Structure 1
């Protein structure tokens, strides 16, 4: 297919040119992938425009009362948005691309950047301006192009896996995953499911943006391309190193000695060469991109003084769904590393807050889980076991903040570490991507495999039974942890792994404590005290931030996708599923009310969870204003409302 036939935008042309030089046999597939990617991002952008106040809500509701075709009249012309479906939390599915009619001439809006231009004209008419409009537009174009690349290689990967299935006789995705894990030395089988997740955040228009990475680097550092890369090492002097004081220095040193004795040998050689004492240094793994692009720039003085030593050692790793988190091959831990690159909505460095608070909160949550018997063995937290960072104490120096968050790491256990015999840990966002076995959403394969094992029930009965089991394992820990202890987990699709045994949900793993919100008063009333990094957004003095975190991530971003897709696929009323969620939540609250000391907590959380509306993040508005820390919220109708 000729490039001119595709009418590619600038970012898409870069990928076309790359494919033409490296993978010319894939060019015919690329056009379809571009069209799919544009529409998928268009749908996310339309959702933002309809949900986040860019278009008048009362006018939207008035039109939806009698038509699924929304029309908006501006001075330049008329915008038509054809809606195929509407579901909980005011989310929409597009029937087809929007149409703009100018001077009585209709034209299809084929790229989300063009829709953004139309909306910018509207905003200027209304004297609204956004400080990051052009930046957001560039992110949007980058997101479309990168999503097309991911869809293209998803197609390639599906064909490769089909060959494996034909040879091995794998009849389900779990059987296929076990074959892949054996053949490719994946000690963490859950990575296989992460590699299936190519479509990104289901509401964020910039879901695949990776500003600053070349196409080769995207292929090299992203999970969906099943690549490997080396992680390198430096060592930093103890005078410029920081770790949570509750972690003993000996624990940190012993970890690296146990896992990589050859690394310690190379560190000794580097110390001898530079006339340094090995006992004065901390090992720091560093991402190859960071080593190439950041190390010399931000830490040149320390390198020159010998306070930072480059260690001649590297390990083979595979990227996870979170590009900055890698899995060392044949090891049972993950390493989270800073990357000074904007992906989706933020630059993915690691804050000083996270290096201190990650282990701190991990200690507390592990104590709670042990005390609570892991909430009937339904919840495990993949916490941050240890971490170290570069520390500058000179607040007046140039790049002070950047220097404190660009050379560090956190260690987590692998999801597989938490599994019993016969269990599979599946990252929840993989459920809304294609299974290589059925070529349908993985979620539907799970439900239908569950049905095969419970043949005495009808398909609808098993759908409800599966959904109830799923909701029970997710909510049985998340709600008590919030209501009883004041800890709001960030349980969105990327952070949550659902564990299945014989296709039945049996427990849930939740990772990444950097995004939790804690009501400190609730936690301390239950006798759990921590020493937190000063000014941490994680630590709140009331329950509102904690409640919003759980509502936004667990209920809207996670459960909301399940209810829509299950209802649509199996032709049931979505509200029936929400009523089941409400029944489970109500039962948990009733049980919690037995503790007289937390009755007020129960009352407040129930009111927040079952209120007329809920607050959730305005993701696109935050990008247009270039604000990722001071969250903008919108009110949405609540499917759990009383």
Structure 2
């Protein structure tokens, strides 16, 4: 442990270091060496968020990027929690603990980084996700793992490279939703049949061992719930609760999203009953909507094909959703890049793009690449929003595909965080039946727009614009004029509702998701207005 690290962070790190000495002594020196850099990464993200959300003022000389974003070269504090102003309202002490937890887990991840050979597009996507070692590109707590100790992190985190999917036998009357276990058995015939009167329900191995016995002893004792010995090998993705399963009997890959009651970024990663019931229905709706879109061949949905829960306790602890993979769906030469990796491979993609299109690898090539990429991403997403579906299109949910660096298709996954506007859907000739009380439904167009506006424009394209500025000196104002031109073209001549959306997305200010304020408040989504670069592009 270096002397430069502050005392409270030192205590947190010492606890992790002691655990590593027992469970993974080969990582101890690398962990210690990584701690200062990990603290600096978390601190820089926190420092930027504090300015972006108006909690502290920007300093003289700070360069302000689009959407009131500031990038700092150094954290300015050995312990990121020391950057928090005094007398902050709400959960300041808890948030400080989250920041320190993020630091030590980021240092563990840095100590474990290694190349992961890829065997297929889904495996390659997981390998790509490891490039974004700090996690979410804007959240300072991208590596928070509250609820796991160090041995759990070693066994189940992204860098572990493997984990296990366990199974429960759930009595029929206690089971709610699709028979996910039976659907898995169709393509993984080595799985056991459920006992008579029961359903087979997948569960994360950690959840099975740590949560289910502690909370559901009565159900286990009565026999309504049984823990089975059977398991499937699985690979953890950056989402942790979403596991990549082995190649199935039909040659394809599938994912299972399972409840994982730990806190990552702002949220405990269990799964609501509503998500399990809405996922398949929303997937069917999305396929219908996409089929009607002029760019239908450019949007690739990773459908949620089945979902189920056990409505006992919170109803969130034993939920599962099955999702389609990409293996067998890509064209020859087509490469899927997980959005989280995009900032780290963008320069290489521009070089490939320049070669494929005969352009020089300079700011001109970067501008042309951004134009092509924006034309891939925005038009179908904005047209979906116009018809009532705002996808949560941040980097973590998107996997753009490229051939020789040229953008081809946009794969989108995880539909639990989208927003649906029933009125707009009805006007477009569609409807969907949501689980009662579902948070994804809204009659407020402002809420609908805020979802796609923050995720697609700010967290997704905003990151790419900054990285292309660093790698290719692409002028930021010019970059946003490129984006604005695509927005203008998408909405041109599409009617009054399109004009309203266009006006909202190009207004002087737009809503920004206030990640730090949300943690301090301990509540749901919170948005603040920030200056909009698309307004200047008029």
Please indicate the TM-score interval, normalised by the length of the shorter structure.
Answer: over 0.9
1:215 aligns with 2:129: no
Q: Who is 1:567 aligned against?
A: 469
Deviations 1:51-80 (A, max 9, x none): 223236xxx4xxx6xx31xxxxxxxxxxxx
The answer to whether 1:96 aligns with 2:97 is: no
The answer to whether residue 132 in structure 2 is matched with residue 197 in structure 1 is yes
Matches within 5 A, 1:468-483: 468-483=371-386
Spell out the pairing of 1:561-600 with structure 2 (5 A cutoff).
Answer: 561-590=463-492, 593=494, 599-600=495-496
Residue correspondence of structure 1 range 71-470 to structure 2 within 5 A: 83=62, 85-98=63-76, 109-116=77-84, 119-121=85-87, 123=88, 129-130=89-90, 132-154=91-113, 157=114, 161=115, 180-182=117-119, 188-223=123-158, 225-243=159-177, 252=180, 254-265=182-193, 267=194, 271=195, 278=196, 280-331=197-248, 332-372=253-293, 375-392=295-312, 400=313, 402=314, 404-432=315-343, 441-457=344-360, 459-470=362-373
Change over 3 Å in CA distance of 1:316–1:334 after alignment to 2: same
- Alignment correspondent of 1:633: 527
User: Matched residue of 2:357: which SS?
Assistant: coil
Contact 1:234 1:283 in 2 (8 A): yes
Contact 2:512 2:529 in 1 (8 A): yes
Q: 1:535 and 1:31, CA in 2 relative to 1: closer, same or farther beyond 3 A? A: same
Deviations 1:412-443 (A, max 9, x none): 011334322221111111123xxxxxxxx322
The 2-side partners of 1:95 and 1:186 are apart by 34
Q: Offset of 1:376 from its aligned partner?
A: 4.3
- Asked if the contact 1:520–1:542 (Cα under 8 Å) also holds between the matched residues in 2, the reply is no
Distance 2:264 2:228 in 1: 29
Task: State whether residues 192 and 230 of structure 2, in contact with CA within 8 Å, keep that contact through their aligned partners in structure 1.
Answer: no
Is 1:34 aligned with 2:2?
A: no
Contact kept? 1:416, 1:425, Cα under 8 Å: no
Structure 2 gap segments, 5+ residues each: none
| Residue 489 of structure 1: aligned partner | 391
Task: Give the Cα–Cα distance (whole angstroms) in 1 for the partners of residues 311 and 361 of structure 2.
Answer: 60
Asked whether the equivalents of residues 23 and 151 of structure 2 are also in contact (C-alpha less than 8 Å), the reply is no
Go from structure 1 to structure 2 and tell me whether the alpha carbon gap of 1:253 and 1:53 turns closer, same or farther (over 3 Å shift): closer
TM-score with structure 2 length normalisation? Answer: 0.93
Q: Distance in 2 between matches of 1:218 and 1:365?
A: 35
In 2, Cα distance between equivalents of 1:614 and 1:204: 19
Distance in 1 separating the partners of 2:27 and 2:221: 47
Larger radius of gyration: 1
Could you tell me how far apart the structure 2 residues matched to 1:5 and 1:139 are?
Answer: 20
User: Secondary structure at the residue paired with 2:301?
Assistant: strand
Matched residues in 2 for 1:15 and 1:304: separation? 36
Q: Quick check: 1:190–1:424 contact (8 Å CA) kept in 2?
A: no
Secondary structure in 1 matching 2:261: coil
Q: Give deviations 1:561-596, integer Å, cap 9, x for gaps.
A: 1111111221231011110001011111115x1xxx
What displacement does 1:363 show? 1.0
Normalising by structure 1, we get a TM-score of: 0.79
**What is the aligned partner in structure 2 of residue 167 from structure 1?**
none
Q: Deviations over 1:498-519 (max 9, x none)?
A: 1111221101011111000111
1:601 aligns with 2:538: no
Matched-pair contact (CA < 8 Å) for 1:186–1:329: no
Q: Residue 455 of structure 2: SS of its match in structure 1? A: helix
The answer to whether the 8 A contact 2:47-2:75 is kept is no
**Does the CA contact (< 8 Å) of 2:30 and 2:111 recur in 1?**
yes
Q: Residue 129 of structure 2 contacts residue 341 of structure 2 at CA under 8 Å; is this kept in 1?
A: yes
- CA–CA distance in 1 between the matches of 2:38 and 2:359? 41
Distance of aligned partners of 1:186 and 1:317 in 2 relative to their CA distance in 1, 3 Å threshold:
farther
Partners of 1:453 and 1:236 in 2: how far apart? 54
- The number of aligned residues is 530
2: CA distance, partners of 1:27 / 1:236: 42
RMSD: 2.1
**Contact 1:186/1:330 (<8 A) preserved:** no
